[in-house]
């Protein structure tokens, strides 16, 4: 997938994203490989993970079916570096118009961080393809349902507060997709390098999506 529309459509179709954040490049590589083995086809490496750009390039080249993105992108320059490494979508914890515009000009998908309806609308008007709900409120599904009532044009993509227990409810509330961090890449499993359990978690999440 190369065009911005193709990437956007791919994210909408696949709905679930695996997001890894760690201080060890080898752990990030093996954990993400386990998530991919478990069935994830949208993956994100946060830029504060060592070797994130190398990992983006590596995973882009090893499987054409993957959509690979960069997270924790805080500046237009960081967005450029991520796209040059192969990132197909750019995710940020904040809403920076300069990052949104730079991402759009490079022809990849922009997913800035927002929380309030006003922030979401401003991100949308600036050109964001999706809006990341971050940090998520206690009842993610209910919050999304309330926001989409008067703003059905928004494509809300929560990346915190989502787990195996509430994933279906969040998607049925209208979320365009959901991101998994801790519930997939459990810190203890990462510390113990228990990648088989991470793969099993991925398989359970993918199976639950298939039942929708």
162-168 long-range contacts (CB < 8 A, ≥24 apart) are 162/136, 164/201, 164/204, 164/205, 164/208, 166/140, 166/141, 167/16, 167/205, 167/208, 167/209, 168/208, 168/211, 168/212
Nearest to 38 by CA among 20, 18, 62, 23: 18
CB 138 within 8 A of CB 162: no
Active site residue 44: yes
Catalytic entry in 29, 44, 102, 155: 44
Catalytic entry in 29, 102, 132, 155: 132
Active site residue 169: no
Active site residues: 44, 132
């Amino acid at each position: 997938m190369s065009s911005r529309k193709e990437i956007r459509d791919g994210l909408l179709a696949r709905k679930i994203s695996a997001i890894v954040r760690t201080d060890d490049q080898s752990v990030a590589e093996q954990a993400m490989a386990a998530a991919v083995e478990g069935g994830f086809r949208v993956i994100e490496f946060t830029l504060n993970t060592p070797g994130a750009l190398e990992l983006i390039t590596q995973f882009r080249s090893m499987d054409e079916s993957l959509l690979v993105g960069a997270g924790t992108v805080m500046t237009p320059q960081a967005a450029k570096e991520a796209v040059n490494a192969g990132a197909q979508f750019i995710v940020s914890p904040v809403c920076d118009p300069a990052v949104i515009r730079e991402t759009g000009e490079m022809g990849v998908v922009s997913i800035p961080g927002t929380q309030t309806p006003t922030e979401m609308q401003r991100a949308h008007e600036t050109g964001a393809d999706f809006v990341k709900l971050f940090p998520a409120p206690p009842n993610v599904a209910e919050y999304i349902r309330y926001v989409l009532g008067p703003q059905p044009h928004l494509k809300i993509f929560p990346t915190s507060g989502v787990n195996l227990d509430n994933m279906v409810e969040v998607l049925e509330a209208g979320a365009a997709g959901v991101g998994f961090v801790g519930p997939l890449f459990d810190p203890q499993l990462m510390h113990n390098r228990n990648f088989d359990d991470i793969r099993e978690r991925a398989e359970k999440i993918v199976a639950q999506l298939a039942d929708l």
